[in-house]
């Protein structure tokens, strides 16, 4: 790295607010020697103005000043959007412990007692500047993690959309295949009857009646299968809208569960496992069907990946019922290998997985927990024992909170 590429680190800015010119001069001289950029103010009002303008890294604030004292000035700083996070160190000749409590309640982080020793002042300044840098780094990390979480949720939605496309293609194969077969058979019969009509002797009544009977059968097959295809497309269209928009609407829980199970068909049919649905047909909710469907899909995939790991058969049951208090209880249960007792408290933690490196990211159950608690307004519980299977139970309000 050449000299022009060396990053320039800005000098920390310190605002000193004190009505004593001698203290201001002494601090200015000593602190500038140690590489700090100093801003001075002789009144609290002037200090508040300079704090908003200069946005210093730290403020040294005298307690006893005319008009506005240091405690009130600190309260106003903490009430300001751009100054609330600036650490404030009080400077005071007072030794009353109650005054210190008042200062901490006002938002101060430390005290320097007058007359001060410059070594003590430097030590406290460096400590709180380091803490502020660490806090900023932590805030940046939190923002990065929040962005990563948004990306993960977005990727989950894209993965769900991919499964949706695969599911609709798979489900449409049968009705479209049946329709093509009926149409081609009817075409052959029509060509055959057409040749008979143009040939010498024409066709008999019996031959024509047979053709009409086959025509009715072909039309019936075409109608039933094309209606089936149309229903599949309509169902998948609604599931796609729910998964990508996360809109709140009224829906029948059984229909939403069934729609999401259809999207899993390509995955399920490659496994020896069976999924059963036991949801009352009239159970209506006012909630977010897209996130709810994502939860159910993740729990079923979790049962296939973990619950029945190494098993050649298995049943996954999705059940729901309405409680007397107006809450919906929705469970996803398997009879697989179960979860170790020591792992149970950690299964909703981000990145916790027993499948790291073999397809498990450790994010599925964490995403499930966040959706259930933050979007659907409910809670999720798990009951499991090694060798005895696992049951995840969602307790959800019939009417989810409005985001």
The verdict on residue 128 lying in a domain is no
Q: What's the pLDDT score for residue 224? A: 83
338 backbone φψ class: left, alpha, beta (φ>0; ψ -120 to 50): left
Q: Is 257 left (phi over 0), alpha (psi -120 to 50) or beta?
A: alpha
Domain identity same for 233 and 258: no
Predicted pLDDT at 356: 46
The partner residues of 13 in beta bridges, in order of sequence, read 37
- Residues 196 and 63 reside in one and the same domain: no
Whether residue 309 sits in one domain with residue 221: no
pLDDT higher than 50, residue 42: yes
User: Which residue do the tokens 């599949």 mark?
Assistant: 232
**Is 207 in the same domain as 282?**
no
Average pLDDT of the segment spanning 66-71: 88
Q: Global pTM?
A: 0.50
Contact between 365 and 302 under an 8 Å Cβ cutoff? The reply is: yes
Distance CA 361, CA 146 (A): 17
Kindly state whether residue 309 falls inside one of the protein's structural domains. yes
Same domain, 35 and 103: yes
Please tell me the distance from the alpha carbon of residue 251 to that of residue 253, in angstroms, as a whole number: 6
Query: Do residues 265 and 391 share a domain?
Result: yes
The sheet carrying 13-17 orders its strands as 37-41, 13-17, 58-62, 88-92, 110-113
Domain that includes residue 293, residue range: 249-397
Burial class from Cβ neighbours inside 10 Å (0-12, 13-18, 19+) for residue 345 reads exposed
pLDDT tens readout for residues 239-277: 655 555 668 889 999 988 988 887 777 667 777 888 999
User: Which band of pLDDT confidence, cut at 50, 70 and 90, is reported for residue 358?
Assistant: very low
Residues 260 and 340 in one domain: yes
Predicted local distance difference test score (pLDDT) of residue 396: 95
Q: Do 255 and 368 share a domain, yes or no? A: yes
Residue 13 has pLDDT above 70, yes or no: yes
Residue 16 has what pLDDT? 92
Residue-level pLDDT at 266: 66
Same domain, 287 and 172: no
94 in the same domain as 211: no
- For 370-397, what is the mean pLDDT? 91
Q: Distance between CA 67 and CA 47 in Å, rounded? A: 13
CB atoms within 10 A of CB 354: 14
Helix axes 289-302, 205-245, angle to 10 degrees: 100
Mean pLDDT to the nearest integer, 56-64? 91
Question: If you average pLDDT over residues 77-102, what whole number do you get?
Answer: 86
Domain count within the chain: 3
Task: Give the CB-side neighbour count of residue 219, counting CA atoms within 13 A.
Answer: 7
For residue 8, what are the CA distances in angstroms to 4, 31, 125, 301? 10, 20, 21, 50
Angle, helices 118-198/253-263, rounded to nearest 10 degrees: 80
Tell whether 134 is covered by a domain: no
């Amino acid at each position: 790295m050449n000299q022009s590429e060396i990053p320039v680190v800005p000098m920390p800015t310190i605002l000193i607010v004190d009505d004593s010119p001698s203290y201001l001069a002494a601090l200015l001289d000593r602190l500038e020697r140690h590489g700090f950029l100093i801003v001075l103010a002789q009144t609290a009002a002037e200090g508040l103005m300079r704090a908003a303008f200069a946005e210093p890294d730290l403020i040294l604030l005298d307690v006893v000043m005319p008009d506005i004292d240091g405690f009130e000035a600190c309260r106003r700083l903490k009430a300001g959007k751009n100054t609330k996070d600036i650490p404030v160190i009080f400077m005071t000749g007072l030794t009353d412990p109650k005054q210190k409590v008042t200062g901490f309640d006002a938002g101060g982080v430390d005290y320097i007692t007058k007359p001060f020793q410059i070594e003590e002042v430097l030590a406290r300044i460096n400590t709180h500047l380091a803490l502020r840098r660490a806090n900023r780094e932590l805030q940046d990390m939190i923002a990065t993690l929040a962005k990563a979480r948004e990306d993960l949720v977005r990727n989950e939605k894209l993965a769900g959309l991919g499964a949706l496309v695969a599911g609709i293609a798979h489900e449409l194969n049968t009705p479209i295949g049946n329709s093509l077969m009926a149409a081609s058979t009817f075409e052959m019969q029509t060509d055959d009857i057409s040749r008979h009509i143009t040939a010498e002797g024409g066709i008999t009544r019996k031959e024509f009646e047979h053709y009409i009977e086959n025509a009715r059968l072909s039309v019936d097959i075409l109608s039933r299968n094309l209606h089936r295809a149309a229903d599949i497309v309509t169902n998948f269209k609604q599931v796609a809208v729910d998964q990508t928009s996360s809109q709140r609407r009224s829906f029948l829980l059984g229909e939403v569960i069934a729609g999401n199970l259809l999207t899993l068909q390509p995955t399920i049919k490659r496994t020896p496992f069976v999924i059963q649905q036991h949801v009352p047909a009239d159970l209506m909710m006012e909630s977010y069907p897209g996130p709810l469907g994502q939860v159910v899909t993740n729990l079923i995939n979790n049962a296939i990946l973990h619950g029945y790991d190494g098993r050649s058969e298995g049943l996954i049951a999705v059940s729901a019922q309405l409680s007397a208090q107006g809450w919906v209880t929705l469970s996803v249960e398997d009879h697989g290998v179960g979860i170790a007792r020591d792992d149970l408290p950690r299964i909703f933690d981000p990145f916790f997985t027993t499948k790291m490196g073999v397809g498990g990211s450790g994010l599925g159950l964490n995403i499930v927990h966040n959706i259930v608690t933050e979007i659907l307004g409910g809670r999720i519980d798990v009951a499991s024992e090694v060798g005895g299977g696992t049951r995840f139970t969602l307790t959800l309000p019939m009417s989810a909170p409005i985001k």
